[in-house]
Amino acid sequence: MDAEFMENTTQQPAIKSKWAGRFIWAAVIEGIFAVVATVLILDPLQYVTGVTYYYPPAMVIASNGAGTWFFTGYISFLVVGVVAMAVTAIFYLYIEGIQGRPYKGLTNALAWAHLLLMNVGVAGSMFLMMWGGYLAGWASAPVSNGGEGLVPEQIHVQILGHLTDPIGALILVAALGALLGGLGYLVRSRTR
């Protein structure tokens, strides 16, 4: 390579952002959970052994009704828990790395609140939704298939009705985290 080109490219400072890295790691960890959930949903061992040791989540999803809770929780976790977390890192990279305004003091506390509250709220609410959908789908399956044979009214009273408040509360926790992160973003982008 040309020596002048090498000299010009090595003089540029690296773009650094501690918060972008933290959100990327959160997306990686959420992605690991998503892979585990996907494996459990697909139950690949049943294709090898021919034996299913539990009521398969894929059958819950296919059964509609309660399976909708399961599927909605799963897709929401992938989109909000994994993809949105990674995209959020770009906002932090822009402020810290491109604009050169590292988070400190109040904005650092707001970024921590964003990271922690959003992750706890998203993961908690979506996994509760998946768990409730799975239990409800299993409970609605005929007894001959290993289920409980419950009708939708029984399922909503016995299983899903108990989960709506905790799911809603956790969604509010996630929303508060996003709101605090947005506030930190606005404050940091407007101050020197």
Picking from 105, 116, 126, 129, the residue whose alpha carbon sits closest to that of residue 176 is 116
pTM, two decimal places: 0.74
Per-residue pLDDT averaged across 21-43, rounded? 82
User: Where do the structural domains in the chain lie, given as residue ranges?
Assistant: 17-190
pLDDT digits (tens, 9 = 90+) for 67-84: 788 888 899 899 888 999
d(CA 3, CA 23): 37
Picking from 155, 165, 179, the residue whose alpha carbon sits closest to that of residue 60 is 155
In Å, what is the CA distance from 43 to each residue of 73, 139, 191? 18, 19, 51
Residue 161 has what DSSP assignment?
Answer: G
Which residue did the predictor score with more confidence, 24 or 64? 24
Total residue length of the chain: 192
Contact 158, 70 (CB under 8 A): no
If DSSP codes are grouped into helix, strand and coil, which group holds residue 146?
coil
Picking from 59, 52, 73, the residue whose alpha carbon sits closest to that of residue 131 is 73
pLDDT digits (tens, 9 = 90+) for 127-181: 999 999 999 988 988 999 888 999 888 888 888 888 888 988 998 999 999 999 9
d(CA 136, CA 60): 8
d(CA 110, CA 124): 20
| Other Cβ atoms closer than 10 A to 128 | 19
- The whole-number pLDDT of residue 62 equals 57
